[in-house]
Structure 1
Amino acid sequence: MSLYVMKFGGSSVGDTERMKRVAKRIAEKQDEGHQCVVVVSAMGDTTDELIDQSKLLNENPPAREMDMLMVNGEQISMALLSMAIHNLGRDAISFTGWQAGFRTEAVHGKARITDIHPERVKKALGEGKIVIVAGFQGMTDEGEITTLGRGGSDTTAVALAAAIDADFCEIYTDVDGIYSTDPRIVKNARKLKEISYDEMLELANLGAAVLHPRAVEYAKHSGVPLIVRSSFNYNEGTVVKEEAVMEQGVVVSGIAYDKNVARISILGVADHPGVLARVFGSLAAHQIDVDIIVQSGGQNGEADFSFTVGLSDRERAIEVLNKTRDELPFRDITFEDNLVKVSIVGAGMVSHPGVAAQMFDVISDQGVNIKMVSTSEIKVSCVIEGGKLQEVIRALHTAYNLDTEEQAFVGGPETRR
C-alpha cells in the first residue's frame, strides 16, 4: 500500500460532472489499496468571478480582504468533492489549509509556507478516510488567513506530500504529461516519460505552465517523486525525479516561452562601482523581480544597461527608478512591451557544443532579431519580438529533433492554482 497526494486543478473540478469523475478516480485509487490525500483548486472560473466582484466594489481592495475572499473558491471545491466521494459510499473529510496545518509568513497574496503541522491529516488517514485539502491557502502564527499566490495549489500538494512522507505526488491537469513544448502550439510535441527536477525547474521558471517553480523546488528539496498526468484520461504521465534518462539523439528536452516580458533600458548612468547594486536594490525592496540584465559601456564615464521584468511590473519599476533619479542620475529611461522570451532546456546541452549557435541560426532564419540572451549550463533564453513566437517555437522544435508522429493530448483549459 502506498500513500498518494493527488492534486486536481480548476478545470478538473470545473463543474459537478467533472467533480463526479474526479471522485470516481479517487475511489479507484483507494480500491487499489492506496491511501489518498487530495488537494483541490477552485472550480473553473470561480476565482475570476470573485475578483470581478471585488473590483465592482473597490478598484484597489485591501490585500488582507482579498485573501479572505479568495480562499472561498478552494473551500467550495473541497466540500463538494468530499460530498461526491461520500455519495460513492466512501468516508472522506475536508480540511481548509490551516486545518491541515499550513503555517505561512505574514504576506498577503503570495505568502510562503513556513511550517506544516499535518496531525489532523495523519489522524484521518489512520481512520481510513480520504482526506480533501483546500490548496492555495494557509494561516500565520497570529491567525491571519493568507494565500500562496500563483501555483499555490501545486505547492500545497508537494509540501503536504513531503510533510506526511507520501510515496508519490500526482498533479492532475488538462495535459497527460510534460511535453517538449506547449502542445497547443506544436501538435506533435514529444511527451517525456521522465524529466529531472533541474530541467523541470528551468522550464517552469521560463514559462512552462504545467508546474509552478515553487512546487518543483519543494519536490527537489524533499525528494518527492512528482507525476504529471491528465484527469481526462488514464494515459501514463511524466515522472519528475532527481535524474532522468536522456532519450537517444535528444539534446534539448523542452522549449518554453514567456509572454510576460518587458524590457527597461536606463541610459547615461554614471559608470562607477555600486551603481547596479543601488538600482536593483531599489527594485528588490519593492518586490520587483528582475530577470536578464545586459550592461554596455558608454562614453564620458557613462554606461547604459537593460533588464527585463514581468509585464505587470513594468510601470511600477519605472516609477521606482524615477524616484531614485536624484541620488542616481541618468539621462533617459525607455521600455519595450511587445516582447517574449523563448528558451531551450536540456541536461544534454552541457556536453554538446554548438546548441546555442544553432538556436540563434534558427531564430535568424525566421527573420527575427534577438534583443537579449541569457545562458546557464542547461538552458539558453532569447528575448525577441513577439510577432513570430509560434513560428520560432515550431522551427526550434523541429531543429532539435523533438517532433513526433503522434498528436499530443490536450483535454481542456487549465489554470495554475
Structure 2
Amino acid sequence: MSDKPTAVRVYLARVRTALADLPATEVEEILEDVRPHLAELEAELGEGARVEALIERLGTPESYAAELRASGGYPPAGEGAAPTTAAGPAKPRIALWGLLLSALALALLAFGAATAGRVQVLAALLLVAPVFAVSLALMLRGGVEPVLALPEVAWLRRALARGREQDEAGKLLRYFASLKPAWWVLCAVALVAFGLLLMVRQRSAVLLVPFLLLVGAAIVWAGPRVRRDRRLLWLVVPVSAFVVGSVLGGIGAVADLGPGGRTYYGPPSYSTAGDSYGNDQLTYGGRSIENVYAFDGEGKPLTEVYLYDEDGRPITLTRYGCERSSGSKQKIGEDNRFPRPKIEQGVTDNQGNYNGYNGYRPACREEAGVPFSAAIPKVTVPPASSSAPASPTPTK
C-alpha cells in the first residue's frame, strides 16, 4: 500500500483542522460520516485525482467544514463549542436515558401488540409520552452536543471506532452501515403493515393507521439525514425500536400458528368457528351452542353457573339481549355465566300484545328460567370390597 496521501486524505485533513475546536470524538464521527461520500467522489474523478478537483466539486475544505457545522447544529468556528451545562451533565443524561427508556418501552409495546393482536394504544402511549417529552425538551433546550459529550456516549463511540479498526468486526459494521437506506424503507413498510394487522384484529386501531403512515414518511425523510443532524436521533431511535419489537412479535405470532403453537387470539373457546358477526362459538356434535343449563343430582336447575375448561380458562361466549328502542336482538358483551335468558323475537300489535294478530312493530323479549326439565339418572355406588379393612367403631 502506498504511503502517498490521496486527495481524500488531504482534503479531510484540512476539514479536521477547521473543526479542531469541537470535541475530538465529534470530529471523528463527522469525518467517518463524510469519508464514504468523498471516496465515491474520488473514484468518480478517476485515479490520480487531485485535491483541486475535490475543491472544484465541493468547495474548500473550510467551507465544507462550515456546512457540516451548520447541518449538525454546531456553533460557528471561533464561538466555541456549546457548554455541557452549568449544573453538570444531569440534564443531558436525563435526555439520553429518557430517549433510551422510551425506545425500550415502545419496543415492548410493539412486541406485545404483534403477539397478542390487540393493544390499548392510548393507555400505552400515555405512559411513554411524558418520559419522551421530557427527554426531547431537554435536548432541544440544551442542544445535542452535551448529550453526545457524555462519558457513556464517548465510551460507545470509542468501542465502535475500535471495532471498525478490526478486520472482521470492521467488515461487519461497514456491511450494516451499507444497509441503512434499506432499513429506513423497511421501517416505513413495517409500520404500515403493523397498523393494518391491528386494524384487522381490532377495528378501533383504524385511528392509528394515519399516524403510522405519517411516522413512516418521517422516518424515510429523517433516516438519511441523521448523520448530519444528530437531533433526528430522537425520531429514528424510538421508531427503529418500535419496528424491531413489532417484527420480533410478528415472528412469535407466526411461530404460534405452527404445529404445537397456539391457534387462537383473545379469549379461548373450544372451537375456532364463529358466527356471522365473527364472534366465538361453542360447538357440540357439529352444532352451535348458545346456552348451557346445569342441574344438581336431584334434577333441580342451577343458576349463576360459571364454566371453565381443564386449564382454568373461562369458556367465554357472546351474550345477547333485547334492544328496547328497536326491538331487536343485540350483542351486549361476553362472559362465562350460565344459563342465559332465552331471547325471542317477534312483533307487537296495537295494544302492545306480543305476537298479536295485527302485529306491525318488531319486538324482542327475554325469558328467564329453564324451558325443560331433566331426569337425572341415579348412580348406584358399588359396595366396598370385602378385602377392604373395616372402619373402626367409635366407643363412648
* TM-score tier after normalising by the smaller chain length: under 0.3
- What TM-score do the two structures reach when normalised by structure 1? 0.21
Q: RCO greater where, 1 or 2, for CA within 8 Å and sep 6 or more? A: 1
- What TM-score do the two structures reach when normalised by structure 2? 0.21
Normalized per residue, the structure richer in helix is 2
Normalized per residue, the structure richer in strand is 1
Q: Which has the larger radius of gyration?
A: 2
